[in-house]
Structure 1
Amino acid sequence: MGIETEYGISVPGQPWADPVQTSGLVVSRYAREHGLRATHGAWDYSDEQPLHDARGFSMPRDEADPTQLTDEEQPGLANVVLTNGARLYVDHAHPEYSSPEVMTPHDAVVHDRAGELVMREAVELLSTRPPGVTLYKNNTDGKGASYGTHENYLLDRATPFARVVRDLTPFFVARQVVIGAGRVGLGRESEGAGYQICSRADFFEAEVGLETTFRRPIINTRDEPHADPDRYRRLHVIVGDANLADVANLLKMGSTSLVLALVEADAVRGRLALRDPLRALREVSHDPTCTALVELADGRRMTAVQLLWAYRELIGEHLGRHGSDEATDEVLAHLDRVLTLLESDPMSAAKDLDWVAKLSILQGYRDRDGLAWGDPRLQAVDIQYSDIRPAKGVFARLEAAGRITRLTTPEEVEAAVTTPPADTRAWLRGRLVRDHAPDVISASWDSVVLRVPRGVARISMPEPTALGRDATAAALAHETVTEVVEALGA
């Protein structure tokens, strides 16, 4: 699993600044500071297939929107592979940090937070040349623009995609109450006054589809596995928020992976299908009391929390048959606790969930100053919540004051900035970049292209769980890239 986060970007005092150019400065300045190449050709696009659809067809290129052609490099845009196996690049008009692939939800949180440190350092480096750049780990500017935080999960290719759509859609609608980042304003351009749980809910227009930047679907059908296509799918999840709170982030990755296990085992069987998922998505997001009832296809009406408890019961039954592990137990302990809090009083989850933490701050201003939800000062606080600068970000100050539950340690997050996960192929990718940077021509999730005396060597990595630290230790101990390539059998 892994997380991709596009960061909101602005130049103080310059609302007219070109976001693409400014995003390029973020990436290139960080890369230059660490001796990494962030130029044309750094990423290998040869295996990318963004127009392949999981429903069994491919969209013709002449019918695709330009934003869908992510397999075409845009010359001049900065793009770099980091020593921790992550990708830092310009995606459309935002700097994006795509974490390396990991095996557990906890590691996903650690490496997502490592991306925050990368972006924070880039901001600090650029601050020496006023006006500098400001970055926000959020998903909308409150004025109609939305940008994504996407999750990725390895999925058994044998699982029928229609089952994925049927049994995952209700979960995505319901999980907002746990993973939402909160937003001041209702509607895409915040034209309605109020507060909602999920910052992205109002931007979704379809139940199923290939697009990610328009006509956004609850279930994205991009069939681009970045792995052995005969064995795997990569479920590309776009219906989520950027989380700063560790508990919310852990539950986002952990609960989703557990529900996917149910889907693979056909343990849901359509019993929680919704009558109108798009309507339900908004109904859940627009109700911070968590009491809104959504209608199921069979006529039952349930709250989002009740839906999540229903999935939780199925997870318990599944684990009773197949067993659990430490990582799963951690997720379930927090899930049970948080769902209990939401059921009794959502505001009691302020230490664990971003949308509740943000709402508690905003409500404090409303109570003190008598502010209506349409007051621009509340919108400013909303944006400031996700400012990644420690002295400016509202979340950062809450966490520093001990008002947020921390599951990761500063030491493990700092280490993850430069150290790749030891149990996935990201280890080999990151170590090759660290130790043989001049010889790395390009890289992608499933390959690394190296310059060797006889020409070019391509190391293929179709299995995400292979080529970790133990499997590559002997090969990487060699001094020259030629010896490494030969030892790997490439």
Structure 2
Amino acid sequence: MQQRIFGLENEYGLIFSPNGKIYLPMEKVLGYIFEGLIPNSWPSNAFLVNGARFYQDTGCHPEYSTPECDNILDLVIHDKAGERLLEACLPAAEERLREEGLSGEIYIFKNNTDSLGNTYGCHENYLMRRDVDFWKVTEQLIPFFVTRQIYSGAGKVLKVSGKPQYFISQRAQHIHEKTSSSTTSSRSIINTRDEPHADAEKYRRLHIIVGDSNMSEYATYLKVGTATLVLSMIEAGFSVAGMELEDPVKAIREISRDPTLNKKVKLDDGRQMTAIEIQRVYVKRATEFLDAQAHDPVLDDVLTKWVSVLDRLEEDPMQLVHEVDWVMKKHLIQSYTEKKDCGWDDPRVFLLDLQFHDVKRTRGLYYLMENRGMAVRVVEEEAVQRAMSVPPQTTRAKVRGDFIRFARAKNRSYTVDWTYLKLNGYWEETILCMDPFSAVNRRVEELLSQVSGARMYR
């Protein structure tokens, strides 16, 4: 089976809660957060020593793009490392505010909507083969992504006609197209932007913008793992025929509005199926695919977890109270309303919804649940802490991260992007790094050796 490169981009919500009546532009708050991650680099975006990219996205959202990963567990680790890096910036950023007489707390949320109804994304990137028909692949993927929310949704309380209603997915209500090149004006299930950051004759990028940001490591693992498995089987010719939805945008919204998972959506051929039934069609084909050829053993684990999750969702979604974000949050809110004898329209319910996504581990409700053993982990915290400063060791990210670490240690100005590196000034040469699977680059090694030698003999 062909290797694959994965990446996740998470846009974070940002709030400054002042002590007193103070107005402070969010750009300034974000600037102090940037100072903690990228000294002397604000306001430009920048790459970090772990190979990841951190920058300001539209709407003053901090965005963290993981380094290139070539296995699913590494991706989960580096996604969590992004949370930890932002969390680690909070004390210094708040101190900088206090130095200016602006005391208060900064909140960073790994979610997808704000109180005004705006949305910001979690984008998934999968390197895929150029020689397969992209449009045939997308047609087969769309029903999968429409229904995947039943185990990857983050959950959201929204008011509908003045009454609170619980939705499975935060992003579903903001999707308007099947496919589109835009990520804002006409958000789609599959984004067609073709930026492979690799050899464009061999690869293209599958850019998915329909998914929610997950606090649960288990949900992230399953979200990316199942997508990888389905993409791999379609690329290998194991097609999924006859599952086209009559109206995918309508279907994704209808599924999101039904936490009982009983809603049937209409297919092109007139049949009606639930999200679980549609997912089982993909499971059956994925099983046949794995049985037919050698593959990464991780995919066996993904398939096992996928089947288990669908079985439990069918029996009773609340069985997944330790694994799936929307179920965890629903259970949390139900328990709270019963304890406080209040309705779902209570303002505290909307606050709970938001606090579930707080990345500060001593404050965020997800992490309070995790600390009590109420959230399943799939990676070790030690690995997450290491990933804050160490890039994946088997992809191009290692070349980039090591280069940045070297340049900073030598106090040298540098320019970096996904596919190139450059030391500014002496030996000013742009070195292309087009192979995302390569953790070594001979020309970069020569350059660093030259610079070190020149320093030695000055």
Are residue 5 (structure 1) and residue 10 (structure 2) matched? yes
Aligned residue in 2 for 1:317: 288
Instruction: Name the CA distance, whole Å, in 1 between partners of 2:275 and 2:41.
Output: 44
Deviation (angstroms), 1:391: 1.7
Are residue 368 (structure 1) and residue 335 (structure 2) matched? no
Query: Equivalent of 2:185, from 210, 214, 219?
Result: 214
Query: Equivalent of 1:118, from 77, 81, 85?
Result: 85
Are residue 461 (structure 1) and residue 433 (structure 2) matched? yes
Give the fraction of aligned pairs with identical amino acids, expressed as a percent: 36
What are structure 1's unaligned runs of at least 5 residues? 40-76, 485-490
Residues 122-143 of structure 1, C-alpha deviations (whole Å, 9 max, x = no match): 1122132322421001111132
Q: Is the 8 A contact 1:433 1:440 kept in 2?
A: no
Residues 191-239 of structure 1, C-alpha deviations (whole Å, 9 max, x = no match): 6521011011111111211111222111111111111111111111110
After TM superposition, list the pairs within 5 Å mapping 1:141-160 onto structure 2. Answer: 141-160=114-133
Aligned residue in 1 for 2:173: 202
After TM superposition, list the pairs within 5 Å mapping 1:3-402 onto structure 2. Answer: 3-13=8-18, 17-32=24-39, 37-39=40-42, 77-92=43-58, 93-128=60-95, 129=98, 130-185=103-158, 192-402=163-373
Instruction: Name the CA distance, whole Å, in 1 between partners of 2:348 and 2:333.
Output: 10
Residues 316-370 of structure 1, C-alpha deviations (whole Å, 9 max, x = no match): 1111122232221222222122111111110010111111100000011222234
Deviation (angstroms), 1:267: 2.2
Deviation (angstroms), 1:15: 8.6
Compared CA separation, residues 331 and 191, structure 1 to 2 (3 A): farther
Q: Is the 8 A contact 1:181 1:199 kept in 2?
A: yes
Q: Is the 8 A contact 1:453 1:482 kept in 2?
A: no
What TM-score do the two structures reach when normalised by structure 1?
0.85
Deviation (angstroms), 1:307: 1.2
Q: Is the 8 A contact 1:29 1:122 kept in 2?
A: yes
Q: Is the 8 A contact 1:110 1:416 kept in 2?
A: yes
After TM superposition, list the pairs within 5 Å mapping 1:432-443 onto structure 2. Answer: 432-437=403-408, 438-443=411-416
- Bigger shift: residues 258-267 or 303-312: 258-267
Q: Is the 8 A contact 1:246 1:407 kept in 2?
A: yes
Instruction: Name the CA distance, whole Å, in 1 between partners of 2:217 and 2:453.
Output: 41
Deviation (angstroms), 1:27: 1.4
Q: Is the 8 A contact 2:17 2:105 kept in 1?
A: yes
- Bigger shift: residues 269-278 or 9-18: 9-18
The residue identity in structure 2 corresponding to 1:461 is C
Instruction: Name the CA distance, whole Å, in 2 between partners of 1:144 and 1:5.
Output: 18
- Bigger shift: residues 405-414 or 313-322: 313-322
The residue identity in structure 2 corresponding to 1:180 is G
The residue identity in structure 2 corresponding to 1:38 is S
Instruction: Name the CA distance, whole Å, in 2 between partners of 1:416 and 1:191.
Output: 44
The residue identity in structure 1 corresponding to 2:9 is E
Instruction: Name the CA distance, whole Å, in 1 between partners of 2:406 and 2:286.
Output: 43
Q: Partner of 2:176: helix, strand, or coil?
A: strand
Q: Is the 8 A contact 1:111 1:413 kept in 2?
A: yes
Instruction: Name the CA distance, whole Å, in 2 between partners of 1:261 and 1:394.
Output: 36
What are structure 2's unaligned runs of at least 5 residues? 1-5
What TM-score do the two structures reach when normalised by structure 2?
0.91
Compared CA separation, residues 425 and 202, structure 1 to 2 (3 A): same
Q: Partner of 1:155: helix, strand, or coil?
A: strand
Compared CA separation, residues 213 and 478, structure 1 to 2 (3 A): closer
Instruction: Name the CA distance, whole Å, in 1 between partners of 2:430 and 2:159.
Output: 49
Instruction: Name the CA distance, whole Å, in 2 between partners of 1:156 and 1:356.
Output: 35
RMSD: 2.1
